[in-house]
Amino acid sequence: IKNGSVRDPRFRNSSGRCKKVLNLIDIEQFNGNFPEFTRPKNVGSFSLDSHRKYVNDYSELRYFSMPPETSTSGSCKVNFDLRRGISTVIEKDEESIKQKMLDYLLRWILQERKAENKNIIDHQHPLRPLLIEFVCYRGLLTLLIGTPYECQKNWTILATKFQNSIYLWQLRGKNQNDTTAVQKETSAWGFKFEQYLCASSPDASPDPDEQLNTNAEFCCVLKTRIGGLPLLYGAEVDAVTKESQPPFFDLKNFVELKTNKHIENDRQMAAFKRFKSMKWWAQSFIVGIPKIVVGYRDDNGIVSRLETMDVNQLRKQSTDCWQSNICMNFCLQFLKFVKESIPKDATSNDHFLFEFDAMSRVVSFRNEMGETNSNRNLLPSWYIESMQK
């Protein structure tokens, strides 16, 4: 299958016309030079409080400090029980989060438009549109970056065009109620780990006895260019080192926190390199976070060792499993594919779907122009109306 229009009937749409596809059957096609990627600039931030209410401040920013007994190798012995207080955890309601779509980020954009943020707004134009080609969340970019090596999970991305920008959102199906109690608990462990290492102010200490509420988060808004295409994206970030103070012009003083089962043999190391290291690299690289602090745990949720990993080193030591240039070239090709596929006359009422099928290894494009959709538009009317003023 070649990229572009194909004759294969699987890729025809209902009217019998050829559907456009982007194929990933041979990922060597993406094995060119690493694409142009400008250092992500932090253009703003916001907090979501424990009720997921948007707040224009640093209230949910957390400060990280490494426990004192760190050895020269960057490794350190600890004893964190991730089950501590687990029965009282307040977990976020994923369904209600899906309903909000890009709303928090859109709200930030409107706020900055009022404040005349010259980084992102075209002040010469009477409509004052964004100087941005793509608006999305960081998780969507991490998903795209990992797609060349994804063999199991399909994805669907919803796109809509408004003024000069394309807004992207990953559609997730309804959560089948098959998340087991164990899965729920281990998902909370990651947040408990953050609580052991992060404090709410630079001179406070972490408090693992405080009730955990995973709704609260601090989000940075970043701007970068991939292959010349300007991107604006929101990213939930774990913590900044306590020696740093806002405002932040980039995320070089932020850290990503991760838990992982102990890696004790070659087989476990191979599995880590094959399935995890690329996702960890992508998530931090795309926002310019240089360090990941890993807590190694056992099956009972006891973290006994911390290790600081260099994000760049993570990439270098995994070249036998995945290549970052292939990841980033695919990401760029996908963004170009989206740009080419959406008709010039599309409006914010039109939806376009991009579907990755992990089995056949193609991304196909579905034009939903003029089709009524039960979901509300990706962009709410309050955003559209305000941007048209």
Residues lying near ligand A3P in the complex (CB under 6 A) are found at: 187, 189-191, 193, 238, 258-259
Shortest distance, CB of residue 308 to ligand A3P, whole angstroms? 15
Nearer to ligand A3P among residue 19 and residue 258 (C-beta)? 258
Helix (H) or strand (E) holding 20: strand 20-23
Q: How many residues bind Mg ion (CB under 5 A)?
A: 2
Pick one of ligand A3P, Mg ion, none as the site partner of residue 191 (Cβ within 5 to 8 A by kind): ligand A3P
Q: How far apart are CA 15 and CA 124, in angstroms?
A: 42
Nearer to Mg ion among residue 132 and residue 251 (C-beta)? 251
Q: How far apart are CA 280 and CA 263, in angstroms?
A: 16
One-letter amino acid of 29: Q
Shortest distance, CB of residue 51 to ligand A3P, whole angstroms? 19
Q: How many CA atoms lie within 13 A of 319 on its CB side?
A: 6
Nearer to Mg ion among residue 219 and residue 257 (C-beta)? 257
Shortest distance, CB of residue 186 to ligand A3P, whole angstroms? 7
Shortest distance, CB of residue 258 to Mg ion, whole angstroms? 5
For residue 257, give the nearest of 87, 66, 41, 50 by alpha carbon.
66
Nearer to Mg ion among residue 220 and residue 257 (C-beta)? 257
Nearer to ligand A3P among residue 161 and residue 258 (C-beta)? 258
Shortest distance, CB of residue 26 to ligand A3P, whole angstroms? 29
Helix (H) or strand (E) holding 325: helix 324-341
Query: What is the number of the residue whose Cβ is closest to ligand A3P?
Result: 190
Q: How far apart are CA 334 and CA 331, in angstroms?
A: 5
Phi-psi region for residue 163, left (φ > 0), alpha (ψ -120 to 50) or beta?
left
Segment interacting with Mg ion, rule: CB under 5 A, options 173-181, 219-227, 235-243, 376-384: 235-243
Q: Pick the binder of Mg ion from 48, 257, 309, 362 (CB under 5 A).
A: 257
Q: How far apart are CA 271 and CA 264, in angstroms?
A: 11
Per CB under 5 A, 346 contacts Mg ion = no
Pick one of Mg ion, ligand A3P, none as the site partner of residue 259 (Cβ within 5 to 8 A by kind): ligand A3P
Nearer to ligand A3P among residue 149 and residue 193 (C-beta)? 193
Pick one of Mg ion, ligand A3P, none as the site partner of residue 141 (Cβ within 5 to 8 A by kind): none
User: Cα-atom radius of gyration of the chain, to the nearest Å?
Assistant: 22
Shortest distance, CB of residue 257 to Mg ion, whole angstroms? 4
Q: What backbone phi and psi angles, to 5 degrees, belong to 284?
A: -85, -40
Nearer to Mg ion among residue 166 and residue 251 (C-beta)? 251
Pick one of ligand A3P, Mg ion, none as the site partner of residue 192 (Cβ within 5 to 8 A by kind): none
Shortest distance, CB of residue 253 to ligand A3P, whole angstroms? 17
Q: How far apart are CA 155 and CA 179, in angstroms?
A: 19
Pick one of ligand A3P, Mg ion, none as the site partner of residue 377 (Cβ within 5 to 8 A by kind): none
> What 8-state DSSP symbol labels residue 251?
S
Shortest distance, CB of residue 190 to Mg ion, whole angstroms? 6
Query: CA triplet 72, 73, 77: central angle to 5 degrees?
Result: 90
Shortest distance, CB of residue 86 to ligand A3P, whole angstroms? 12
Going by C-beta distance under 8 Å and a sequence separation of 6 or more, which residues neighbour residue 317? 273, 277
Q: Pick the binder of Mg ion from 188, 238, 314, 365 (CB under 5 A).
A: 238
Taken as a whole, the chain contains a residue count of 389
Pick one of ligand A3P, Mg ion, none as the site partner of residue 273 (Cβ within 5 to 8 A by kind): none
Handedness of CA 115, 120, 124, 128 (dihedral sign): negative
Pick one of Mg ion, ligand A3P, none as the site partner of residue 175 (Cβ within 5 to 8 A by kind): none
3-class DSSP string for 147-199: HHHCCCCCEEEEEEEECCEEEEEEECCCCCCCCCHHHHHHHHHHHHHHHHHEE
Contact positions vs Mg ion (CB under 5 A): 238, 257
